[in-house]
Amino acid sequence: MPVGGPVVIDLFCGAGGMSLGFQAAGCRILAGIDEDDSANATFLENFTRLQPEAPPVVPSPGEGDLHSYDLDGIPGVENVDIVIGGPPCQGFSRIGRAKLDSLRDEGQREEGFEEDPRNELYKIFLSAVRRWKPKAFVMENVPGMLSIGGQNVAEEIGADLAESGYRVGYAVLNAVWYGVPQFRERLFFTGVREDLAARPAMPPATHRIGVMPSGYFTTAASARTTHYATYLPFVMHYDLDVSHGQARFPATSVFEGLDDLPRLEDHLSEGHLPRGDFRRRMAYDRPPHSAYARLMRSWPGLGRPEGIVDHVIRRTRRDYETFGLMRPGDRYPEAIEIATERVRCKFRDRLEGESGEEIDALRVLREEFERVRSIGLPFKEWSPELVGFARELFPPYPEDKFVDKWRKLVPGGPSWTVTAHLGKDSYSHIHYDGTQKRAVSVREAARLQSFPDGFAFSGNMGDCYRQIGNAVPPLMAWAIARTVLGLLGEPARSPEDAGRGGESE
């Protein structure tokens, strides 16, 4: 794509999911700043390819801390049109607040979520907006910001920015509304400089979903007419609504998102990750079967790759058969029941092949197994003999704490939220194809987030999963960018212009 269009700076940019959407819509990315060196390397590599005539400014390793980074020293910053970014949100999220408070109560951390310094990082974003006075800004965070100890921080931020000369609106958006094959809620603020006389708005949904699954509080049914129907000129910040009336397409499913990618089966015969396998390129072995897959293979500016890299998984031979026997939607309790039956089968097989004292010992061990399972005794409290017998079949994690740590994807609908700790908890997204007996790969996690196949990630496997899980889905960002550019009177490219179309093949 030619270099041009409104100039964008991305603060707390991560791998660049938000920037990728804005760049695809027609913007030029001037800079991306993050304290994560791996994410900065990812950002630089991809946006240098996308903008070879004007590569973005990215911090040198170890210099991306926005507390000390010289933002005003970025060449061309005086001409920035749009500031975007997502300040770290762990301190605002419901899960993050509970975790921080738990660590404080256990004496492992001095402060709880209210004192977490990450809750102050958004003020760096606000300060940059006040200094540079861009035409518009977009800030992303978690819905938990709407209620922290009874305090609506989002309302306070909106008021703060309005006093700085912006008309501001905010809303909780779900990525599934914009074609991403994933339920993912995030809070977005949009501000337009007051002198431009434009009222902020949120992108209308393009994809429809009926009933939202439990755990996601926003629904299409909750959409109403915009609050601007009763616009008051002296009120400059709003809780915005999202239109669902023109959503033409059904929600993108996991099947549409992943099924054209190469099958992975070598882990079923290999015990460990072969050296050099992580970046091995794999050719596509089938054509794209959906509009979504076509876009992932032909994102504007990234060419049409002949295959993919990073299509690799964490390997735990113990669990392969359990993965294969789980049904779509099954979680850890069902996995434990499957593993229990696998251990019972091992006892039966061993008893049929042994005699004498060995049979007596196995029977005693089997009785112990049935007893510990009946009372729910944690794996770590089993006898060493039983642990030794079952450890190759039975996962050792507490059943009450790992209910959602394992979950098998349902092919006919969107995925649940891809998280930043997927590298450690990749079993939260087990591939729906039981014959492959595995969790999702790095590249499949990227697909669920709408990162195109031509987008390359830097760092090790854990770094890649983290960058993917922390990102704003690029396709969602593209929808937001189109709306913002429309408010500014700027032309914007759409996914349909990129050949995405609207129908699955």
> Which of 449, 452, 503, 500 lies closest to 476 in space, CA to CA?
449
pLDDT of residue 74: 96
Residue 136 lies in a domain: yes
Q: Which of 13, 27, 89, 464 is catalytic?
A: 89
Q: 322-350 pLDDT, tens per residue? A: 999 999 999 999 999 999 999 999 999 99
Residue 144 lies in a domain: yes
Q: 432-482 pLDDT, tens per residue? A: 999 999 999 999 999 999 999 999 999 999 999 999 999 999 999 999 999
Sign of the C-alpha dihedral, residues 105, 110, 112, 114?
positive
Residue 59 lies in a domain: yes
Average pLDDT (18-41) is 98
pLDDT of residue 103: 38
Q: In this structure, are residues 311 and 461 in contact, taking their beta carbons and an 8 Å threshold?
A: no
Lowest mean pLDDT among 26-30, 75-79, 152-156, 378-382: 152-156
E strand or H helix at 83, and its extent?
strand 82-85
Active site residue 89: yes
> How many structural domains compose the chain?
1
Residue 430 lies in a domain: no
Angle made by CA atoms 209, 212, 218, in degrees to the nearest 5: 100
Lowest mean pLDDT among 24-28, 134-138, 499-503: 499-503
Segments forming the whole domain that contains residue 168: 7-94+121-249+470-487
Give this prediction's pTM: 0.89
> Which of 172, 186, 263, 266 lies closest to 220 in space, CA to CA?
172
Which domain CATH number covers 242? 3.40.50.150
CA 496/CA 383 separation, integer angstroms:
60
329 Rama sector, left if φ>0, alpha if ψ -120 to 50, beta otherwise: left
Q: 54-109 pLDDT, tens per residue? A: 999 999 999 999 999 999 999 999 999 999 999 885 545 444 434 434 434 555 43
Q: 386-429 pLDDT, tens per residue? A: 999 999 999 999 988 888 889 999 999 999 999 988 888 779 99
Q: In this structure, are residues 336 and 289 in contact, taking their beta carbons and an 8 Å threshold?
A: no
Residue 181 lies in a domain: yes
Residue 271 lies in a domain: no
Q: In this structure, are residues 169 and 237 in contact, taking their beta carbons and an 8 Å threshold?
A: yes
Residue 452 lies in a domain: no
Residue 214 lies in a domain: yes
pLDDT of residue 118: 46
